Structure formats: structure tokens, C-alpha cells
Amino acid sequence: MLFKLPIAAVILSLFCFEIRIVEGFSLFPTKTNNNLLVVLFAGVPNNGNMNDMILAEDEPLSSRFQRAVVLQRAGDHRSALTEYQTFIKAAESCDVSPELYAEVHVNMGAIYTKLKERNKAKQNFQKALFHRQLGSAHVNLALLALADGQMSRDPRDGISALREARMHCLKALEIDDDAHSTNGATRLLKDVENMLQQAGEL
């Protein structure tokens, strides 16, 4: 019982961190004024023209991507997922390295979290990390670990969840790839370590 209320408080205070909208195309990761992540997307077809990266029906990849972002922002989660999935298939057909659009999997993980499909959310965050280490994916995995720990009646699961969350927060801080992820990891790590200390586990 020791872990139920504190973990719930941490999750509620940081749950908004799960939404990691990615928008636009850029050769380098940057941030917009409203803290939305701009995707690292440097895949270029053989002729060197980014505008030639199109879908089968002659729609630019950028249009498909922007539509997914708009749908995600509007809360049309299923349609956004369909657009992201189509985007990934099109990027694969253009031989774009998944490392360059790993953030899309973070977006998809955020949507699955909203839809309460935690296994799919976790799979997408892990897939993002497989392609490239991202602080946002680690923080989101920390939050999912805490949520899973909260659902268990076994105190050992609570301790295990806290340890897993701590590990992901430390990795996010080590990566330090964007201020939003770093700030979220810092706040979450402080709360997690306080709980571990109260339980005599740190």
C-alpha cells in the first residue's frame, strides 16, 4: 500500500509528458516555441530532392506526416495512427533509415497510451529506442512502468517498477537530447528516488 498513492500522484503530475507531437521535416532536431519536437528526417532519394519522396498515390510524405500530426492534436487517435503507419511504410519504401524518424514511434506510443493499449504503447517506445536513443521514449517508459507497478497488489512489483522508472530516467538524463525530456526526467527521478528511500531501497 505504501506505493499506491505516491506513484499515482507522480503519474498524474507528469502524465501530460506522454504526448510527444512530432512535426515538420528538418535535417537537425529543433524545438518550436510550444515545445513540440521537430522530427529529425534526413532521408533523401537518389536524385537528392526531398520533394521527390512521395507515396504510391503521388502524395508527398510531408503531407501524410502533417495530416497525422493534425489528427493527433485534434484527438482523432485512430486516424492519426493510420496516417503514421502509412508514413512509416512509405518511408521504408524510400529506403529512409528508421533512425531518422524514430520520434514517430514515440508519437504512436503516446497515442496507444491515450487509448489505454499499454502493451502497444510500450512496444512503440521500445521500437523508437531500438532505432535511436531518445529521452522522451525513456521518460514515457518510466511512466508506464510506474503505472504497471501501481496496478499490482504485490509490494515487490511496486519496488521493481520504481527501479525500472529510475533506470529510464537516468538514461534520459544521460541522453539529454531535449529540454522537455530532461526536465521531465529530472522531476520524475526526484519523486522516484524519494519513494525508494522511504522504502529503504536506495
Provide the domain limits for residue 22.
Answer: 4-198
Which amino acid appears at position 106 of this protein?
V
pLDDT in tens, 69-87: 889 989 999 999 999 999 8
Residue 152: predicted pLDDT: 84
Report, as an integer, the average pLDDT of 5-31.
36
Q: For the chain, what is the domain count? A: 1
Three-class SS state of 24:
strand
> How far, CA to CA in Å, does 32 sit from each of 21, 23, 39, 144, 146?
11, 9, 11, 26, 29
> How far, CA to CA in Å, does 77 sit from each of 70, 71, 116, 149?
10, 7, 12, 26
* pLDDT-derived band at 55, boundaries 50, 70, 90: low
CATH number for the domain that contains residue 193:
1.25.40.10
Q: Which three cell numbers stand for residue 84?
A: 503514421
pLDDT: which is higher, 154 or 8? 154
Give the count of alpha carbons within 13 A of 195, CB side only: 29
Q: Which three cell numbers stand for residue 25?
A: 521535416
